[in-house]
Structure 1
């Protein structure tokens, strides 16, 4: 049986919360998403990746 690779973390090593503490300015995840990443299923991780893609253009810099 072939194992399916886990969905990789979007972390790029630039860990800093935005001024409103809504998300990380490196990976765009919220603290809740970051904390939960290790225990999420691949399906949940893929959902988070979709959410952060939608979040990215609307985030304040």
Structure 2
């Protein structure tokens, strides 16, 4: 995950405070612009795991 570009894909549907589009929490979405690169990478890694746990495709590429 080398990119720290905003992962928002414009879905913005929430389940238990987690966006089904990007996998971030509402708090992480609000804080995104203030995070440094390492923090953004950590959020991206965590959000990918959340999407897997929710079985949401979100921004993950499907095969």
Tell me the TM-score normalized by structure 1.
0.76
Residue number in structure 2 paired with 1:57: 52
Larger RCO: Structure 1 or Structure 2 (Cα < 8 Å, ≥ 6 residues apart)?
A: 2
Instruction: For residue 60 of structure 1, report the CA deviation from its aligned partner.
Output: 6.0
Query: What are the within-5 Å matches in structure 2 for residues 7-26 of structure 1?
Result: 7-18=4-15, 20=16, 22-26=17-21
Tell me the TM-score normalized by structure 2.
0.74
Displacement over 2 Å in runs of 4+:
none
Runs of at least 5 residues in structure 1 that lack an aligned partner in the other structure? 1-5
Name the count of aligned residue pairs: 54
**Alignment root-mean-square deviation, CA:** 1.7
Q: Which has the higher strand share?
A: 2
Rg (Cα) greater in structure? 1
